[in-house]
Amino acid sequence: MIFLKNDYSLGAHPQVMDALVNTNMELTDGYGEDRYCRQAAEAIRQMFGCPQAEVHFLCGGTQTNQTALAAFLLRPHWSVIAADTAHICVHETGAIEATGHKINHVATKDGKLTPEMIEEVLIFHEDEHYVLPKLVYISDSTETGLIYTKKELLALRECCDKNDLLLYIDGARMAMALTCEDNDASYRDFAELADAFYIGGTKCGALFGEALVVVNDLLKPDMRFLIKQRGGMLAKGRLLGVQFDALLKDDLYLELGRHANRMAKMLAEGLSARGYSFEIPPQTNLIFPMIPKDLEEKLSKQVMYETWPVVTPTHQCIRLVTSWGTTEEEIRNFLNLI
Amino acid sequence: MIFLKNDYSLGAHPQVMDALVNTNMELTDGYGEDRYCRQAAEAIRQMFGCPQAEVHFLCGGTQTNQTALAAFLLRPHWSVIAADTAHICVHETGAIEATGHKINHVATKDGKLTPEMIEEVLIFHEDEHYVLPKLVYISDSTETGLIYTKKELLALRECCDKNDLLLYIDGARMAMALTCEDNDASYRDFAELADAFYIGGTKCGALFGEALVVVNDLLKPDMRFLIKQRGGMLAKGRLLGVQFDALLKDDLYLELGRHANRMAKMLAEGLSARGYSFEIPPQTNLIFPMIPKDLEEKLSKQVMYETWPVVTPTHQCIRLVTSWGTTEEEIRNFLNLI
Amino acid sequence: MIFLKNDYSLGAHPQVMDALVNTNMELTDGYGEDRYCRQAAEAIRQMFGCPQAEVHFLCGGTQTNQTALAAFLLRPHWSVIAADTAHICVHETGAIEATGHKINHVATKDGKLTPEMIEEVLIFHEDEHYVLPKLVYISDSTETGLIYTKKELLALRECCDKNDLLLYIDGARMAMALTCEDNDASYRDFAELADAFYIGGTKCGALFGEALVVVNDLLKPDMRFLIKQRGGMLAKGRLLGVQFDALLKDDLYLELGRHANRMAKMLAEGLSARGYSFEIPPQTNLIFPMIPKDLEEKLSKQVMYETWPVVTPTHQCIRLVTSWGTTEEEIRNFLNLI
Amino acid sequence: MIFLKNDYSLGAHPQVMDALVNTNMELTDGYGEDRYCRQAAEAIRQMFGCPQAEVHFLCGGTQTNQTALAAFLLRPHWSVIAADTAHICVHETGAIEATGHKINHVATKDGKLTPEMIEEVLIFHEDEHYVLPKLVYISDSTETGLIYTKKELLALRECCDKNDLLLYIDGARMAMALTCEDNDASYRDFAELADAFYIGGTKCGALFGEALVVVNDLLKPDMRFLIKQRGGMLAKGRLLGVQFDALLKDDLYLELGRHANRMAKMLAEGLSARGYSFEIPPQTNLIFPMIPKDLEEKLSKQVMYETWPVVTPTHQCIRLVTSWGTTEEEIRNFLNLI
């Protein structure tokens, strides 16, 4: 079987695994107060150019989004604005609402939010009979494999400033966003434009774990209480520090994102060359070709992938995902199949 | 000023007020365990033909919806399906989400849900990465002034049975729904088709208060704990029993609904006769005429009403509401203005 | 039957009822934005000497405590310190915890909190593995019928200031606290010392309703959103304004409290004269005599009251409650029985 | 420094680490639906003799307790009974209350609950003005280092059955409980007597992770939704399956518990021989000697441990903890110091 189903089915990149093995028999302080966590946090602050930011390490994406958003939405009537394809809207089993907060779902063309869409939500929310939108959630890259350009991020920031909104970026696939050929935003732009964001580990070479970076001073106090209360504070917190430390050394993180994107590009070009079209233009490591239905039957026996809910009488859209572990050989094998 | 803004700006119907005055100096048990509450509950069970139902009296609509839905959605991953114009979706400040549950908003043509819309939501919710829709919420009459026919209610019930969903009816304006000329559903149909519903008092002649009727045995246990926990249990609970007792005597409740509908019909016919069109076809006591923009300016100085978010280059939709207290003279005065 | 069971089993004081009847057919704005609410709020600000305070009217005590505390405890890890006899600890079905916040129960001698008790809780709560106590809740008068002297209130305030805690006073029986013979605190002291408090209506002459007074600027923003979200915003909000307006006119409120206390004193003196002792020294309208068990049997057939969980081999403690509606004749009849 | 501070500061036992390394480059299904999780779950069902039980793997103790209890306390007015020293009462930052449920704290002599204590809570909770206790939480071994005998567990079960309560066992240190010399309960007893329990990994040789075992059929449905919603479902779920698989092979789990207990016994006997007394009689891997205050100063420079809040004018109680990684040499060094 060729595996193009997702980017979280291998373990960790060998350098990350080595770091865990090498530190295994050390005795360190618990709950993230060890030197590995401190070191990784410091590395993050430097790379992102935000010396005042707070960095916290959590176990997974849903946990990070839920904890961060619950912490930031500190008043019960505050809501989140998000694209209706956003991870928090569909694939987190209502985790945000479970903290008591509404999400204002926004229908988008391609999974990306714009200032216009945000302002349309705001106009509708007039007084105390409605929730009060307070935070804008975007994923970069998005669940549709797209990235926000620096100009688009700036426009979102401006919109947030104008309307007293916070901006939060889900960076589950930040390695792929940053290394996308079309990208002109940097580490530093993330830290400068967002009030808080997270750097995804799980899908970018770690065994597990995400690094939440809190830039806005107002959001910092007592974050550790919230993480503990929601079960996100590992007793052996250093496991996360050790991994991020390894990932960020010598730009391994970017290298892994770049590899995933390169494999996706090879895939997309191969598909294009064979005449396939795409539901969403390929940009990062998720691509969405339209596949003839008769081919799909054959494919599904030799390739692991997921379908995407776009169907025509003759074609089915599928989602192909590459990762740091995808090989050129797998791509060639796939292209030979079609 | 002519008042066509809403149906909750007068006090209580005089017969309801008299009942409160006449019982004022009685000493009764607290928290709804008095004879007036028992009596009103019994009257409701008889009228709705549901001798086994439990009846609870609460103070207002948001409180009733929030308490009932939180009680029925007893597992944290269960969600509510509702039209995106539903009261719980817009005008209750996220009260349902505040209990931890997502609402699956459904876009509709006119504010009414259909089995097809419900099933489209269900198909999309496959496994534990999504919430699990468990309850269908409808208002009857709707926030758009429409009613569900008996056939439509039957189809919703069937859809719920097929898909293991509960059906809840918000009857804030049940008096108007039941006495609508197009209506062929009865008190008994509500009790037979819904798992639970509430009979609106606030908008139908009471000073305040709604009666929650729980038909499904599974939803009955410990309801009083939930009402108390959410602050819905009045120390002097009899205030609510006394009011419903008075409202249900000699069909006063239906009479008040019929009056509101008659006033609305007079209004709608007058508007039609003068060539006005309607955004939503008039059925009960909320009507939605399109008004030329230049007339609107004049109107807004002499009539109290709300605008409705439908605008054309030349016209603005407005919402006109009649109640048990609206007089023919007010309607005539309004029609003379336009 | 002689009624000494509680202080919420009559309707409203006749002057309050008259005010409701007289305003019944007026058309006013909804949701507490009418002139009666504005007028009553202004009267409260003047009497309590807090011209900047915000005043909100809610339906009952549990609702007010839950809404206010949830609003003030805006971070999920903040907790409330309260005496373990406090209304929020026992008789509100976990309403505070239902908003996600822990209560740190404190064992007390007599239902009253002291700075020492508060500081003992704080010492124990060191870091992010514990909740962070943030608000002190007291009732005045307490559930044990006692009041805080001005000196005691000042000491609590000082303790709160020193430890960055908020002070909230549940004034369900404020009329009785203020008119207690031992009391040296005034309306103004409540407003000066508490960050927020509520003025009880239900037990002090109103049909229903409590007035929440928010003094601390930090706690004011968006309070109406919270009230609406928790179902505490009556459509016909004026019902509450009208009642408080009537209660506060010509010191009716204090007069009613004074009457309840006078009846309780007559009761206590009669019991003392007959040799009965008290579990808690009588101060306001709740008194706790120890009754010989054989007498209790007889009493329970002719008097409505509640037992209190203090028992000796020969005696049972009972709770006797007087109200604005208790008559001297009832007290005499009771004393003749024993 | 001699390390006797806690049992979670090393990484994983080498055999567990090897298993992670060996499976690192395998591609498996995500979210716990892989063969390692299935295999480990099956091993657990066999060892505990509960072929029908459901097994779920989560990341840490607070997360497991919070998720399980929130799932089982499916009605908002249900509460937990727990010793006031229980982990959920003190060290989880109010995680249970954050799900909306009250904990009924019970003062105990030594951290162990008895049927009498439970029934005393129940008597006090009469009706809908109180929460309704529904689940009994115990830790075994306890936070005080003690175990429940089989007879004590049977008595708790009987008490729960009689009062319609669920029994949940926090087995963070189950390896130490099972291998305690005084223990006469078996794996199978846990599964037979509890409705649900968890097998601790973090403190018993794993890198991280706990196995939640749900025995009672009523508690099983949709547990995966709850785990996902609270952020407890690892994308690479197999990490947990692989670890438990390794831990349970050839009784490694019990061997590690036995070692920790043996080290603690050596410590306790050495202390006894030197004339030290214990605040709580030593039973498993947590021991609580009383240390002269002047010695404490010296000790704290050479040994890492925590103090326990019991002080006399001359002595301070301290908590010493051994683990699977503690060596005899460390114990000897410690004993030489005192």
* B74–A contact, CB cutoff 8 A: no
The answer to whether residues D150 and D283 belong to one domain is no
Comparing alpha-carbon positions, the chain C residue that sits nearest to D98 is C100
Q: Is D93 on the interface with C (CB under 8 A)?
A: yes
Q: Are residues A64 and A31 in the same domain?
A: yes
Q: How far is CA A248 from CA A39, B14, B72, C24, in A?
A: 11, 75, 48, 71
Secondary structure of B25-73 as H, E, C letters? CCCCCCCCCCHHHHHHHHHHHHHCCCCCCEEEEECCHHHHHHHHHHHHC
Residues D307 and D242 in one domain: no
Residues of chain B neighbouring D226 (CB-CB closer than 8 A): 75-77
Q: Does A100 touch chain B (CB under 8 A)?
A: yes
CA distance D73 to D70: 5
Shortest distance between the Cα of C140 and any Cα of chain B, in A, equals 19
Average confidence score pLDDT of chain D:
97
CA B195 → CA B86, B214, B319, distances in Å? 18, 7, 31
Does B241 lie in the same domain as B267? no
Same domain, D146 and D182: yes
Tell whether D166 is within 8 A of chain B (Cβ).
no
| Contact call for residues C6 and C320 (beta carbons, < 8 A) | no
Q: Is C162 on the interface with B (CB under 8 A)?
A: no
Contacts with B300 (C-beta within 8 Å, 6 or more apart), sequence order: none
Going by C-alpha positions, the residue among B106, B169, B109, B187 that lies closest to residue B144 is B109
- We report the CATH number of the domain holding residue A200 as 3.40.640.10
Per residue in D214-250, pLDDT (tens digit) is 999 999 999 999 999 999 999 999 999 999 999 999 9
d(C-alpha A29, C-alpha A34), whole Å: 5
Q: Dihedrals φ, ψ of A183, to 5°?
A: -80, 135
End-to-end CA distance of chain B: 14
Chain A contact set for D232 (CB, 8 A): 63, 231
Q: What is the distance between the alpha carbons of residues D48 and D152, in angstroms, rounded to a whole number?
A: 19
Do C179 and C234 fall within a single domain? yes
Q: Find chain C residues with C-beta within 8 A of D130's C-beta.
A: 90-91, 93
Instruction: Please calculate the CA angle A82-A86-A88 and round it to the nearest 5 degrees.
Output: 85
Distance from CA of D121 to the nearest CA of B (A): 18
Distance in Å, alpha carbon of D210 to nearest chain B alpha carbon:
20
| Rounded-to-integer distance, Cα D304 and Cα D288, Å | 14
Distance from CA of D332 to the nearest CA of C (A): 32
d(CA B110, CA B83): 9
Q: Cα–Cα distance between B6 and B305 in angstroms, integer?
A: 7
Q: Which residues pair with residue A2 across a beta bridge?
A: A303
pLDDT higher than 90, residue A333: yes
Q: Do B259 and B221 have their domain in common?
A: no
Instruction: Give the contacts of B109 (CB within 8 A, at least 6 positions apart).
Output: none
Give the type of residue at D334.
Answer: F
Closest partner CB to C131 (pick from D76, D93, D129): D93
Q: Answer whether D130 sits within 8 Å of C102, measured CB to CB.
A: no
> How many Å lie between the alpha carbon of C135 and the closest alpha carbon of chain A?
16
Mean pLDDT of A138-156: 98
Q: What is the pLDDT of residue C297?
A: 86
Query: Which pair of structure tokens corresponds to residue A317?
Result: 């859209």
pLDDT higher than threshold 90 for residue D297: no
Smallest CA–CA distance, residue C27 to chain B, in Å, is 5
Cβ contact, residue pair B59, C231, below 8 Å: yes
pLDDT tens, residue by residue, A245-283: 999 999 999 999 999 999 999 999 999 999 999 999 999
Give the per-residue pLDDT at C204: 98
Task: Indicate the pLDDT class of residue A323, thresholds 50, 70 and 90.
Answer: very high
Indicate the number of domains in chain C: 2
**Same domain? A117 vs A220:** yes
Is the pLDDT at A297 greater than 90, yes or no?
Answer: no
Burial B90-115 (b: 16+ CB within 10 A, else e): bbbbbbbbbbbbbbbbbebeebbbbb
Domain that holds residue C183: 14-251
- Number of cross-chain residue pairs from A and B with Cβ atoms under 8 Å apart: 57
Q: How far apart are CA D198 and CA D190, in angstroms?
A: 10
Q: Are residues C241 and C307 in the same domain?
A: no
Q: Confidence band (pLDDT; 50, 70, 90) for B76?
A: very high
Rounded CA-CA distance A17/A205 in Å is 10
Q: Given a cut of 90, is residue B222 above it in pLDDT? A: yes
Q: Give the N- to C-terminal CA distance of chain D in Å, as an integer.
A: 14
| C-alpha–C-alpha distance, residues D61 and D232, integer Å | 11
Task: Sort out which chain C residues have CB atoms less than 8 A from D73's CB and list them.
Answer: none
Q: Is A70 on the interface with C (CB under 8 A)?
A: yes
- DSSP assignment of D283-332: -SSEE-BEEEHHHHHHHHHHEE-EEEEEE-SSEEEEEEE--TT--HHHHH
pLDDT of residue B131 exceeding 90? yes
Structure tokens at D255: 């061997």
CB of C267 closer than 8 Å to CB of C322: yes
Tell me the longest C-alpha to C-alpha distance in chain A: 61
Rounded to whole angstroms, how far apart are CA atoms C139 and C141? 6
Decide if A175 contacts A165 (C-beta within 8 A): no
A238: left (phi over 0), alpha (psi -120 to 50) or beta: alpha
Query: How large is the greatest C-alpha to C-alpha distance in chain C, in angstroms?
Result: 61
The residue among C226, C251, C276 that closes a domain is C251
B31 and B121 together in one domain: yes
pLDDT tens per residue, range D1-12: 899 999 999 999
3-state secondary structure of A211: strand
Q: Does position D252 have pLDDT exceeding 90, yes or no?
A: yes
The chains in contact with chain D, meaning 3 or more Cβ pairs closer than 8 Å, are: A, B, C
Over the stretch D36-93, which tens digit does the pLDDT of each residue have? 999 999 999 999 999 999 999 999 999 999 999 999 999 999 999 999 999 999 999 9
Strand partners, A320: A287
Q: What chain C residue is nearest to B202 in terms of C-alpha separation?
A: C235
Residue type, D241: G
CA distance D288 to D268: 9
Contact with chain D for residue A19, Cβ under 8 A: no
Chain segment B98-117, per-residue pLDDT in tens: 999 999 999 999 999 999 99
pLDDT at C276 (0 to 100)? 97
Q: Which residue in chain C is spatially nearest to A234 when comparing CA positions?
A: C129
Kindly provide the ipTM of the predicted complex, given to two decimals.
0.95
| Tokens encoding C271 | 């019991």
Smallest Cα distance from D98 to chain B, Å: 11
Q: For residue B48, which of B176, B245, B213, B254 has the smallest C-alpha distance?
A: B213
Q: Please tell me which of the candidates A90, A92, A131 has its beta carbon nearest to residue B94.
A: A131
Find the closest chain D residue to A2 by CA distance.
Answer: D27
Strand (E) or helix (H) holding A169: strand A166-171
**Residues in chain D closer than 8 A to B224 (CB atoms):** 128
Of C77, C100, C225, the CB nearest to A132: C225
Pairing of strands B166-171, B290-292: unpaired
Check residue C94 and give its pLDDT: 96
- Among C77, C224, C226, the residue with its CB nearest the CB of A229 is C77
Q: Is the pLDDT of residue B14 over 90?
A: yes
Chain C positions in Cβ-Cβ contact with residue B242 (cut-off 8 Å): none
User: Does position A2 have pLDDT exceeding 90, yes or no?
Assistant: yes
Q: Which two tokens stand for residue C290?
A: 């120890």
Regarding whether D302 and D229 lie in a shared domain, the answer is no
Spell out which residues of chain B touch residue C67, defining contact as CB-CB under 8 Å. Answer: 231
Relative to beta strand A166-171, strand A290-292 is unpaired
Cα separation values, B283 from B184, B253, B263, C114, Å: 13, 18, 11, 62
Which residues of chain D have a CB within 8 Å of the CB of B128? 222, 224-225, 227-228, 233
Task: List, as ranges, residues 233-272 from A with C-beta within 8 Å of D.
Answer: 233-236, 239
Domain boundary among A251, A267, A286: A251
- Tell which of B209, B231, B250 closes a domain: B250
D225 and B71 within 8 Å at the Cβ level: the answer is no
CATH code, D294: 3.90.1150.10
Q: CA-to-CA distance for D69 and B187, rounded, in angstroms?
A: 41
Q: How confident is the model at residue A126 (pLDDT cuts 50, 70, 90)?
A: confident
Round to whole Å and give the CA distance between D231 and A96. Answer: 11
Give the CA distances from residue C309 to residues A168, A282, C318, D97, D104, in Å, rounded to whole numbers and listed in that order.
53, 72, 8, 27, 18
When pLDDT is cut at 50, 70 and 90, the band that residue D126 belongs to is: confident
Alpha carbons within 13 A on the beta-carbon side of A152: 16
Q: Are D199 and D215 in contact (CB under 8 A)?
A: no
Closest CA to C241 of C214, C197, C201: C201
In this model, does residue B297 exceed pLDDT 90? no
Those residues whose C-beta lies under 8 Å from the C-beta of residue D90, and which sit 6 or more positions away, are C129, C130, D84
| Contact call for A63 and D207, based on CB within 8 A | no
Which pLDDT score is estimated for C126?
85
Residue type for position C80: V
Whether the per-residue pLDDT at D152 is higher than 90: the answer is yes
Please state, as a whole number, how many other Cβ atoms lie within 10 Å of the Cβ of residue A296: 15
Q: Which of D14, D203, D235 sits opposite A60 (nearest CB)?
A: D235
Q: Quick one: average pLDDT of B224-232?
A: 96
Q: Is the peptide bond before A141 cis (omega within 30 degrees of 0)?
A: yes
Give A105's contacts in chain B (Cβ within 8 Å): 105
On whether the CB atoms of residues D198 and D171 are closer than 8 A, the answer is yes
Q: What is the mean pLDDT of chain B?
A: 97
Q: Is the Cβ pair D128, B224 closer than 8 Å?
A: yes
Q: Which long-range contacts (CB under 8 A, 24 or more apart) does A262-271 make?
A: A263/A322, A263/A323, A263/A326, A263/A327, A263/A328, A263/A330, A263/A331, A264/A320, A264/A322, A265/A181, A266/A328, A266/A331, A267/A4, A267/A320, A267/A322, A267/A331, A267/A334, A267/A335, A270/A331, A270/A334, A270/A335, A271/A335, A271/A338
Q: Which residues of chain C have pLDDT under 70?
A: none
Residue A236 to residue D93, Cβ atoms within 8 A: no
Same domain, B48 and B127: yes
Q: Which residue in chain C has the smallest CA separation from D92?
A: C129
Q: Measured between alpha carbons, how far is C201 from D132 in angstroms, rounded to an integer? A: 29
Q: Do B228 and D100 touch (CB under 8 A)?
A: no
Task: Determine, for residues B25 and C234 on separate chains, whether the beta-carbon distance falls below 8 Å.
Answer: no
pLDDT at residue number A227? 97
- Residue D173 — very low, low, confident or very high, per pLDDT cuts 50/70/90? very high
Say if residues D166 and D195 touch (Cβ distance below 8 Å): yes
